A and B are shown apart, each in its own frame.
Chain A
Amino acid sequence: MSSPEIYLDNASTTFVSSEVAQAIKSFHDQRAGNASSLHRAGVRAAVMVEEARSTVADSLRVHPDEIVFTSGGTESNNLAMLGLLGMKKGTRIIISAIEHSSVLNTAKWLEANGHELVMAPVDGKGFLDFDSMEKLISPNTELISVIHANNEVGTIQDLSRLSELCQKYKLKLHLDACQSFCKVSLDLQKTPMDLLSISGHKIHGPTGIGALYVRKNLELEPILFGGGQERGMRSGTYHAEGIVGLGAAIRSFRKEDVDSMTALRNHCLQEFADIPGVRVNGPLGNQRLCNNVSISLATASASQIMLELNKKNIFVSKGSACASGKTEPSRVLLAMGSSMTEAQESLRISISKYTSRDDIDELIKELRRMLG
């Protein structure tokens, strides 16, 4: 009999929770129409969409009118950057050296189309070097885009400092909060910014749904054209069941979930410190995402270990999920000053609110055996 599956790749995606599945079923049971239609079935859908919009807005402490629903984090990041700068030329964009591909490649596209792209360095733990970043600001700088909690190593950036820096130089700030949303408290009243991306499937919501916070009075050029939904910024029929699912995912994410993930992460990090040939990447403590563990292996192939764990029904990822399948070393770890080997041989273990202590102990036992 095969052992039960232990899923530890929650930074890639999470399973849809029973609360979310129930909310989506309830949506379908109500036979809702198109949320843009004016008849009763349409209004029924619109009510559920607006309830979810308020849930998203409340979680960020912003106004519902400032929330634009998208198909996910990648689209949110694209809309934020292309919507702001796509029709302009000659601005400088500053991003961190450890951005997700959806920000990096959008920034590169902008660079190829008349903008200037510069990258702010990070230190060995993945924290932004704010002094260097400030020196990169030029008179034509318009946008700073930063990943709040890094998807590979879990480093959480100092949001207050970032927000203050952007206010000081009157720059637009875009935060990619896809990994941190619901896991790190976000209060945009306290730390104002212009744009913020979130994703549903990182928090036990469905795939194919995300949102972009767009500060009031900030107009973005659309990157999708059609019926003019979402104040003209994001056309397309509302993915109402996804939106409902996103709202349910946010409502069912509790502080106790963050506490339990933090405890398991700390347990995992403590155990890894004792395993020869294992190096923990990124910071320790509360400046690390509660569900992230990243390690580099000095004496073993990360690909091989990942496959061996897979045979034991333990699922982790090598580097970031978006880079999986490629043989390149992690550019995030390289930017943090890791060696080529450390960047090549990295594993990411990402916990969810459903992960148990037994799951982590089984992983540790197997890793000790494989690396022993």
Chain B
Amino acid sequence: MNNPEILDLRGVPCPRNSARALIRLAGMNSGELLTIIVDEGEPLRNLTSALEAESFVIVSSFADGSLARSILVRVA
């Protein structure tokens, strides 16, 4: 299996980060995975909420040792 694509949204303000994630995901096929790196705190919460609202599945979420978090999203 190919490694998931990565979208780095660190430093991108809300809700532009959510918008960019949704645009990228809209161009992907069902079942494909996308790793999104996003700042912890408010940006992470807002992004997660926006993805779930559009029925994307968050497969996993892990801290990367910095102030950001990587989340793995699957296209439904």
The answer to whether A binds B is yes
Stretch of A43-51, A110-118, A145-153, A302-310 with 4 or more beta carbons under 8 angstroms from chain B:
A43-51
A47 CA to B16 CA in the complex, in Å?
8
Binary CB contact string for chain B from 1 to 41 against chain A (1 if under 8 A, 0 otherwise): 00000000000011110111011000000000000000000
B27 to chain A, nearest CB (A): 11
A37 within 8 A of partner (CB): yes
Q: Is the CB of B14 within 8 A of A38?
A: yes
Which of A35, A43, A51 is B50 in contact with, Cβ under 8 Å?
A: A43
In terms of DSSP, what is the predominant structure of the interface of chain A?
Answer: helix
Question: What is the chain B residue whose CB lies nearest that of A48?
Answer: B19
How many chain A residues touch B (Cβ–Cβ < 8 Å)? Answer: 14
Q: Is the CB of A38 within 8 A of B46?
A: yes
A156 to chain B, nearest CB (A): 34
A-chain residues with CB within 8 Å of residue B20 when the two chains form the complex: 50
Which of B15, B22, B23 is A37 in contact with, Cβ under 8 Å?
A: B15
A-chain residues with CB within 8 Å of residue B23 when the two chains form the complex: 47, 50-51, 54
A333 to chain B, nearest CB (A): 45
A269 to chain B, nearest CB (A): 44
Question: What is the chain A residue whose CB lies nearest that of B12?
Answer: A65
A266 within 8 A of partner (CB): no
B67 within 8 A of partner (CB): no
A38 CA to B20 CA in the complex, in Å?
13
A368 within 8 A of partner (CB): no
In terms of DSSP, what is the predominant structure of the interface of chain B?
Answer: helix
A-chain residues with CB within 8 Å of residue B50 when the two chains form the complex: 40, 43
B26 to chain A, nearest CB (A): 8
B66 to chain A, nearest CB (A): 20
A69 CA to B19 CA in the complex, in Å?
16
A42 within 8 A of partner (CB): yes
Which of A38, A51, A54 is B15 in contact with, Cβ under 8 Å?
A: A38
How many chain B residues touch A (Cβ–Cβ < 8 Å)? Answer: 13
A259 CA to B18 CA in the complex, in Å?
40
Question: What is the chain B residue whose CB lies nearest that of A40?
Answer: B53
B-chain residues with CB within 8 Å of residue A43 when the two chains form the complex: 15, 18-19, 22, 50, 53
A36 within 8 A of partner (CB): yes
A43 CA to B50 CA in the complex, in Å?
7
B-chain residues with CB within 8 Å of residue A51 when the two chains form the complex: 23
A-chain residues with CB within 8 Å of residue B14 when the two chains form the complex: 38
A-chain residues with CB within 8 Å of residue B53 when the two chains form the complex: 40, 43
Binary CB contact string for chain A from 19 to 54 against chain B (1 if under 8 A, 0 otherwise): 000000000000000011110101100110111001
Q: Is the CB of A46 within 8 A of B16?
A: yes
A217 to chain B, nearest CB (A): 13
A38 CA to B46 CA in the complex, in Å?
7
B-chain residues with CB within 8 Å of residue A47 when the two chains form the complex: 19, 22-23
Taking CB atoms and an 8 Å cut-off, the chain A residues in 107-141 that contact chain B are none
Q: Is the CB of B19 within 8 A of A46?
A: yes
A43 CA to B23 CA in the complex, in Å?
11
A358 CA to B50 CA in the complex, in Å?
53
B-chain residues with CB within 8 Å of residue A42 when the two chains form the complex: 15
Which of B15, B22, B49 is A36 in contact with, Cβ under 8 Å?
A: B15
Question: What is the chain B residue whose CB lies nearest that of A42?
Answer: B15
A180 CA to B18 CA in the complex, in Å?
33
A51 CA to B23 CA in the complex, in Å?
7
A-chain residues with CB within 8 Å of residue B15 when the two chains form the complex: 35-38, 42-43, 46
A-chain residues with CB within 8 Å of residue B19 when the two chains form the complex: 43, 46-47, 49-50
A43 CA to B53 CA in the complex, in Å?
10
Taking CB atoms and an 8 Å cut-off, the chain A residues in 338-361 that contact chain B are none
17 cross-chain CB contacts under 8 A: A35-B15, A36-B15, A37-B15, A38-B14, A38-B15, A43-B15, A43-B22, A46-B15, A46-B16, A46-B19, A47-B19, A49-B19, A50-B16, A50-B20, A50-B23, A51-B23, A54-B23
> B-side interface residues toward A, CB under 8 Å?
13-16, 18-20, 22-23, 46, 49-50, 53
Contacts A38-B49, A47-B22 known; list 9 others, CB within 8 Å.
A37-B15, A38-B18, A42-B15, A43-B15, A43-B53, A46-B15, A47-B19, A49-B19, A50-B20
| Those 6 A-B pairs whose CB atoms lie nearest each other, nearest first | A46-B19, A50-B19, A47-B19, A46-B15, A43-B15, A43-B50
